């Protein structure tokens, strides 16, 4: 009987998913994750960087100068947001932190050298994420 009560919820989970917030483009979906940054097809990492750079012009200027990274990691606390930008070609990473809220300045630190293990892991992740077509 309890199983029958779950059937409507399971059927809803199989329904079509719309583009946008329903697909997990939110900060919650990005929390404590390493995300690939790719424009086409767009990844969560790319969407988060675009969103963050419109909220924080300093990040937009940084990306305009250095280009988009290959991967990002995003996390936050009650009052702060943190990003790590991973650039595979140069094997360098930058750390960014800001207070929550649009228009807040971002503090940048780095570049930091990436370890061989980090570099290989991210290269494997990028290679395994290729889209055929």
User: Which strand (E) or helix (H) includes residue 96?
Assistant: strand 92-99
Structure tokens at 28: 């919650």
Bond before 22 cis per omega within 30 degrees: no
**43 contacts 24 by C-beta, under 8 angstroms:** no
Domain boundaries, the chain: 18-128
Residue 22 has pLDDT above 80, yes or no: no
Q: Torsion angle of alpha carbons 97, 25, 91, 56, nearest 10°? A: -30
pLDDT digits (tens, 9 = 90+) for 56-72: 899 999 999 999 999 99
pLDDT digits (tens, 9 = 90+) for 88-118: 999 999 999 988 877 788 999 999 999 999 9
Angle (nearest 5°) at CA 86 between 106 and 84: 35
Spatial CA neighbour of 12 closest among 2, 22, 25: 22
**Residues of the chain with pLDDT > 90: what percent?**
50
Average pLDDT over residues 12-35: 49
- Assign 46 a pLDDT band (cuts: 50, 70, 90): very high
User: Which strand (E) or helix (H) includes residue 111?
Assistant: strand 106-113
Is pLDDT larger for residue 22 or for residue 78?
Answer: 78
Question: How much is the pLDDT for 55?
Answer: 86
Q: How far is CA 22 from CA 15, 34, 76, in A?
A: 12, 20, 21
**120 contacts 98 by C-beta, under 8 angstroms:** no
Residue 84 has pLDDT above 60, yes or no: yes
**Residues of the chain with pLDDT > 70: what percent?**
74
Average pLDDT over residues 15-25: 39
Reduce the DSSP state of residue 25 to 3 states and report it: coil
């Amino acid at each position: 009987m309890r199983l029958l009560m779950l059937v409507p919820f399971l059927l809803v989970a199989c329904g079509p998913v719309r583009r946008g917030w329903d697909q997990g483009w939110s900060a919650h979906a990005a929390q404590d994750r390493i995300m690939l940054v790719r424009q086409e097809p767009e990844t969560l990492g790319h969407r988060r960087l675009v969103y963050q750079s419109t909220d924080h012009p300093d990040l937009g200027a940084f990306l305009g100068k250095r280009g988009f990274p290959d991967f990002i990691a995003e996390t936050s606390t009650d009052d702060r947001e943190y990003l790590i930008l991973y650039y595979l070609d140069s094997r360098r990473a930058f750390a960014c932190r800001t207070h929550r809220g649009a228009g807040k300045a971002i503090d940048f630190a780095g570049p930091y050298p990436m370890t061989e293990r980090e570099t290989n892991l991210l290269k494997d992740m990028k290679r395994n994420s290729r889209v055929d077509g």
